[in-house]
A and B are shown apart, each in its own frame.
Chain A
Amino acid sequence: MRSATPLLTAEDLTVGYFGRKKMPRPVAGSLRLALWPGELVCLLGPNGAGKSTLLRTLAGLQPPLGGQLRLGDQELTSLNAPARARQLSVVLTDRVEGGNLTGRELVRLGRHPHTGWLGGLSAHDEAQVQAALVATGTEVLAHRPVGELSDGERQKILLARALAQDTPLILLDEPTAHLDLPNRVALMRLLHRLARQTGKAILLSTHELDLALQAADRVWLLSAEGALRTGTPEDLVLSGAFAAAFAREGLAFNPATGTFELHAPTGPPVQLVGDGAAAFWTRRALEREGFVPTAAPAAWRVTATLAPPRWTSQLAGGPEHSHDSMSALLRALNQISTP
């Protein structure tokens, strides 16, 4: 799948800020990175690990503190701004109001590095703008003022602007922030599709761990100490790198489900019998109540069936009770566990 040459490479890269008196204050160091055409890469890491700093450095918006950063076969810092803008485009977390700008006018701004000094758009430019609108499904927003768009719509139109810039690389800083779940899923799906269809390399930072694990071709995992692990999401999960990066007191990543455990178990084990959606949701409900659902025989036993929706509970060989809703089951279990 991969073509022979990466679009962007970094060797021993250190990112961070210059503090008082130009003292470098590194956030993350010794980074070795490569971005290949056609892949969607998610940059993950806990808050403060330096995701935004890394992304802004890769975008050329702030200088690296050390190491090598190459765009194609050229040093990124040696490229002038217009040349860089033809190589990579960004979607930032900066608030964009836009006022009188319509969706199409905002997308047209993406053609900036390709137009002459007056900024006039050729037929080719307009075609690129239209293509970007179509690819992101934002034609309906083309005539709406940007100031009136919802957060999800605005994020899509900003992505369209980045597409119209027609660069082999697109970097997005937390594009899913402020979006509701359906919009987050839709945006990730769109980015994944774009990477595959257009052959662009798309790098995004996000806090959406399970979405990223599902959608990303590769994950860059930045730990709180500023160290980086890269690999396919599955490799990182199974090797334990994922759990280590997000390790926190009382917080456990469950490699079996790919999620963080929200509830710490405090109650007795409960044998859960059943399968499919009924078992899945019963397991969630039991975990929320502090029980430890197991497949092995235990003193407590719960069965779940979906059609008809029915639950039974049985305590230590006692009589079997039948329940017609999850809340009835939980009520019964709680009554027994707290005499």
Chain B
Amino acid sequence: MRAAPAAPPLAPPPAAGMGRSAAWLLVLLLLVGLGFVLDIALGSVAVPLPAVVRILLGQPGDTAAWEFIVREIRLPKALTALAVGSGLAVSGLQMQTLFRNPLAGPSVLGLTAGAGLGVAAVMLASGSVAGSLAIRALGVGGSWGLVLAATAGAALVMALVLALAGRMRDNVVLLIVGMMIASVTGALVSLWQYFSAPEQIQEYLLWTFGSLGGVTGSHLAVLASVVAVGLGLAFGSAKSLNALLLGENYARSMGLVVGRSRLLVILSTSLLAGSITAFCGPIGFVGIAVPHLTRALLRTADHRVLLPASCLAGAALTLGCDCIAQLPGSQTTLPLSVVTSLLGAPVVLWVVLRRQNIRSSFS
């Protein structure tokens, strides 16, 4: 980081903001790299860091077992963590700006609940899709059945929200609609649980814990490409999101076609949150917390900086949480959603209490 300017209130050099942002982007990039390597090294079988780096660089591995573990299991998992962290953080940032609400996150549109409904419906119809043992061993991403069910549920809600968003002028109404959709789908899932056998409920519960495992090969390719499209759309919306900082009326007066921009933002968020929930189950917290974290760290409101920073911070946080989920060192890992909340909530509390003007970022 560059040295702090001597007299910030009156005349810091004009480039100070950019320097601070660039420094933080670099720090976050390093953290992502570190987390990526650590995430691959840690687990029930610990692989030494030098060996990890050698295998990642394509040099002959020290042992075939390590090579298999790194290439086939841990590398896909770390890549999934990258996609999940960056995708959720960016969709959370978009929702918070669009709705000008600090509590908004990827789940406000009801997509997560929709995915849950899809999974619940398929489990109800077939009795068992994956089996709780399979979920525990492979993760929710390991079963195409679960992925397709969740995708269908999320897509259904997405279609509904997009259709409604096109008709409404007011974002607050849209926010309420999203939350009501989430509420209805949640109630349907509860209803299903009420009439289900305990084993089925356990299966569903395992799905709700979320996991990064099992997303390999074609699954990973699908997830990565959908997330890439979503991120691309989000980065393309950076200028619109900046204009929306002053509210819809000002944005409109500055030449923004608010309806179209809103649809793009919702489409991007739907793709990101929907695909991630479909492959990894609901992973809470990252989407709400990371945007606050990056805004507080970079002290900027410019989405051209906030979007990449949220990407990196989300990826770093998810990788870090996954490392911690492995730490017990036993055969089982902790549920990712639990770790993100346990670790993330205190971090965000610290940031928010330290900078008490979070409220003023919204209105």
Residues of A within 8 A of B256 (CB): 81, 112
In angstroms, how far is the closest chain B Cβ from the Cβ of A133?
Answer: 12
Q: Is B10 in contact with chain A by the CB < 8 A criterion? A: yes
Q: Is B255 in contact with chain A by the CB < 8 A criterion? A: yes
Residue of A nearest to B363 (CB): A97
Residues of B within 8 A of A59 (CB): 253
B357/A99 in contact, CB under 8 A: yes
Contact A81:B363 (CB < 8 A) given known A109-B245, A115-B239:
no
Residues of A within 8 A of B363 (CB): 95-97
Contact A85:B254 (CB < 8 A) given known A96-B246, A117-B239:
yes
Cα–Cα distance between A81 and B304 once the two chains are bound (Å): 22
A92/B362 in contact, CB under 8 A: no
Residue of B nearest to A80 (CB): B257
Cα–Cα distance between A117 and B246 once the two chains are bound (Å): 19
Listed stretches B48-56, B57-65, B119-127, B295-303; interface member: B295-303
Residue of A nearest to B259 (CB): A81
Q: Is A118 in contact with chain B by the CB < 8 A criterion? A: yes
Within 8 A of A (CB), among B217-256: 236, 238-239, 242-243, 245-247, 249-250, 252-256
Residues of A within 8 A of B359 (CB): 97
A81/B257 in contact, CB under 8 A: yes
Cα–Cα distance between A59 and B252 once the two chains are bound (Å): 10
A81/B255 in contact, CB under 8 A: yes
In angstroms, how far is the closest chain B Cβ from the Cβ of A48?
Answer: 20
Interface 1/0 per residue, A45-84 and B, CB below 8 Å: 0000000000000011100000000000000000011111
In angstroms, how far is the closest chain B Cβ from the Cβ of A88?
Answer: 8
B252/A105 in contact, CB under 8 A: no
Cα–Cα distance between A330 and B202 once the two chains are bound (Å): 87
In angstroms, how far is the closest chain B Cβ from the Cβ of A52?
Answer: 11
Within 8 A of A (CB), among B1-21: 8-12, 17
Q: Is B360 in contact with chain A by the CB < 8 A criterion? A: yes
Assign chain A's interface to a size class.
Answer: 35 or more
Residues of A within 8 A of B304 (CB): 118-120
Q: Is B361 in contact with chain A by the CB < 8 A criterion? A: yes
Interface 1/0 per residue, B271-291 and A, CB below 8 Å: 000000000000000000000
Residues of A within 8 A of B252 (CB): 60-61, 81
Contact A109:B243 (CB < 8 A) given known A61-B252, A99-B295, A147-B357:
yes
Q: Is A282 in contact with chain B by the CB < 8 A criterion? A: no
Residues of B within 8 A of A140 (CB): 10
Contact A98:B255 (CB < 8 A) given known A90-B250, A119-B304, A147-B360:
no
Query: CB within 8 A of A112: which of B17, B254, B358?
Result: B254
Contact A143:B11 (CB < 8 A) given known A94-B250, A119-B238:
yes
Q: Is A6 in contact with chain B by the CB < 8 A criterion? A: no
Within 8 A of A (CB), among B136-162: none
Residue of B nearest to A162 (CB): B253
A112/B243 in contact, CB under 8 A: yes
Residues of B within 8 A of A29 (CB): none
Cα–Cα distance between A303 and B267 once the two chains are bound (Å): 78
| B interface majority secondary structure | loop
Residues of A within 8 A of B362 (CB): 97, 99
A82/B255 in contact, CB under 8 A: yes
A109/B255 in contact, CB under 8 A: no
In angstroms, how far is the closest chain B Cβ from the Cβ of A151?
Answer: 14
Cα–Cα distance between A113 and B253 once the two chains are bound (Å): 9
Query: CB within 8 A of A99: which of B9, B257, B301?
Result: B301
Cα–Cα distance between A115 and B360 once the two chains are bound (Å): 27
Cα–Cα distance between A120 and B252 once the two chains are bound (Å): 19
B254/A98 in contact, CB under 8 A: no
Interface centre among A61, A106, A119, by most chain B C-beta atoms within 10 angstroms, is A119
Residue of A nearest to B361 (CB): A99
B249/A98 in contact, CB under 8 A: no
B254/A110 in contact, CB under 8 A: yes
In angstroms, how far is the closest chain A Cβ from the Cβ of B119?
Answer: 37
Residue of A nearest to B102 (CB): A99
Residue of B nearest to A56 (CB): B249
B246/A84 in contact, CB under 8 A: no
In angstroms, how far is the closest chain B Cβ from the Cβ of A330?
Answer: 48
Cα–Cα distance between A117 and B236 once the two chains are bound (Å): 8
Residue of A nearest to B302 (CB): A105
Cα–Cα distance between A59 and B300 once the two chains are bound (Å): 30
Q: Is A101 in contact with chain B by the CB < 8 A criterion? A: yes
B301/A96 in contact, CB under 8 A: no
In angstroms, how far is the closest chain B Cβ from the Cβ of A19?
Answer: 15
Residues of B within 8 A of A207 (CB): none
Q: Is A313 in contact with chain B by the CB < 8 A criterion? A: no
Query: CB within 8 A of B255: which of A86, A95, A97, A100?
Result: A86
Residues of B within 8 A of A92 (CB): 249-250, 253
Residues of A within 8 A of B357 (CB): 99, 145, 147
B250/A96 in contact, CB under 8 A: yes
A84/B239 in contact, CB under 8 A: no
A112/B239 in contact, CB under 8 A: yes
Within 8 A of B (CB), among A117-155: 117-120, 140, 143-145, 147
B361/A100 in contact, CB under 8 A: yes
Q: Is A89 in contact with chain B by the CB < 8 A criterion? A: yes
A84/B250 in contact, CB under 8 A: no
A94/B249 in contact, CB under 8 A: yes
A84/B249 in contact, CB under 8 A: no
In angstroms, how far is the closest chain B Cβ from the Cβ of A175?
Answer: 14
A61/B253 in contact, CB under 8 A: yes
Contact A109:B242 (CB < 8 A) given known A92-B253, A100-B299, A100-B301:
yes
Query: CB within 8 A of B253: which of A85, A98, A143, A147?
Result: A85
Cα–Cα distance between A81 and B247 once the two chains are bound (Å): 16
Residues of A within 8 A of B242 (CB): 109, 112, 119
A113/B255 in contact, CB under 8 A: yes
In angstroms, how far is the closest chain A Cβ from the Cβ of B242?
Answer: 6
Q: Give A contacts to B, CB under 8 Å.
A: 59-61, 80-86, 88-90, 92, 94-102, 105-106, 109-110, 112-113, 115, 117-120, 140, 143-145, 147, 165
Known: A119-B304, A145-B360, A147-B360. 7 other contacts (CB 8 A): A60-B253, A89-B254, A90-B249, A90-B253, A92-B253, A102-B17, A105-B302
Give 5 A-B contacts (CB < 8 Å), ordered by A residue: A81-B256, A81-B257, A98-B301, A100-B299, A112-B242
Name the 7 nearest CB pairs between A and B, nearest first.
Answer: A99-B361, A85-B255, A119-B239, A147-B360, A82-B255, A97-B363, A113-B255
